[in-house]
């Protein structure tokens, strides 16, 4: 799934309730899910890690949507390699 499609799907699915909760609550949820991802990486199964990666992405998409920003625009600066050195792989080392 493309990032723009993911963001739109999350907006269609959860947009109304997420907007009602607001950005501060979304940041709180995103942070909580990031903590769950960290725990799954440390001691979870690949299935649990996959689950938490999805949750983090979903909340990140919700945050971008509420800020009126696009995840695709956000990652565009990585499209041509490392934003600092312009190399793939990064040569900043």
Which residues lie near Zn ion (CB under 5 A)? 82, 84-85, 90, 92
The nearer residue to Zn ion, 25 or 91, going by C-beta atoms, is 91
Structure tokens at 32: 């909580």
**Can you tell me whether residue 30 is helix, strand or coil?**
helix
CA distances from 18 to 5, 14, 72, 89 (A): 18, 6, 20, 37
CB of 89 to Zn ion, least distance (A): 8
Which CB sits closer to Zn ion, 42 or 84?
A: 84
Residue closer to Zn ion, measured from CB, 46 or 93? 93
């Amino acid at each position: 799934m493309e990032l723009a499609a993911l963001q739109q799907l999350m907006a269609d699915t959860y947009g109304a309730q997420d907007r009602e909760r607001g950005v501060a609550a979304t940041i709180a949820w995103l942070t909580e899910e990031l903590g769950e991802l960290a725990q799954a990486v440390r001691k979870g199964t690949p299935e649990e890690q996959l689950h938490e990666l999805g949750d983090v992405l979903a909340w990140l998409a919700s945050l971008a949507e509420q800020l009126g920003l696009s995840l695709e625009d956000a990652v565009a600066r990585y499209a041509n390699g490392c934003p600092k050195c312009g190399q793939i792989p990064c040569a900043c080392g």
